[in-house]
Amino acid sequence: MTNAISLPLPVTEGGAPIWETIRRRRSIRHYGEQPMPLETLSQLVWSTHGTSGRAGARELRTAPSAGACYPIDIHVVANRVSGVDPGLYRYLPEDHALLVVRKGAVGQEVAEAALGQSMCAQASVTLVWTAVLPRTTNRYGERGRRYVFLDAGHVGQNVYLAATALDLGCCTIAAFDDFEMNRVLGVDGEIETTVYCASIGPLE
């Protein structure tokens, strides 16, 4: 895939103790200026919603999903990541890669869509999660839409714990202008719509 960036393989063993990580988890809105290593970004996106195994023909992810529908997609807004141009990328869990959407100072656009929350532009990365609604409604009908918010919560908790284990600051964001955030991402707001975000960066 010529317009995709392959990510380093994630570490799947060892790491910070789980009970200590849960105790240390806090929302942190101010970050240092050093770039995030690509290996760290790889670990973050895999921990958030990457592929962790298979059940027959079905892929399993690191975050649970009702009926294994996995309606959540991850958009990576890179501000300062080593070896990655600033811009907007879409995470491809099956390939563990970043698909280039567009380059430029997208972090500032996200900050404005998030009602002026400057941490979206200051952070090394901001992850923006969208829900692809037909993935749930195909199985559950209109009831499936309620499961989207459960899935977003699971993904959000994963990124908090992963960031804490990696000694990074993280803050999830639910206050944003839906129309503007969808416009920044280039999604239609009907089939696919923004549901949650998180800014992540090094501790000051």
Q: Is CATH 3.40.109.10 the classification given to domain 20-202?
A: yes
Give residue 104's identity as a one-letter amino acid code: G
Handedness of CA 25, 26, 28, 31 (dihedral sign): negative
Domain ranges of the chain: 20-202
Residue 37 contacts residue 82 (beta carbons within 8 Å): yes
89 token code pair: 């990328």
What pLDDT is stored for residue 140 in this prediction? 78
Find all residues with CB under 8 Å of 111, minimum gap 6, and list them.
117, 118, 119, 120, 121
Residue 199 to residues 32, 102, 119, 125, 180, Cα–Cα distance (Å): 12, 19, 7, 6, 17
What pLDDT is stored for residue 160 in this prediction? 98
E strand spans, 30-93: 51-55, 58-61, 72-78, 87-92
Rounded to 5 degrees, what angle do the CA atoms 48, 135, 198 make? 30
34 token code pair: 């050093």
pLDDT means per 10 residues in the chain (204 residues)?
89 94 97 97 96 88 91 97 97 96 97 98 98 86 83 96 98 97 97 97 96
What pLDDT is stored for residue 61 in this prediction? 95
Give residue 92's identity as a one-letter amino acid code: L
- CA-nearest of 47, 82, 48, 49 to 202 is 82
Give residue 191's identity as a one-letter amino acid code: I
What pLDDT is stored for residue 175 in this prediction? 97
Predicted TM-score (pTM) of the model is 0.95
What pLDDT is stored for residue 1 in this prediction? 60
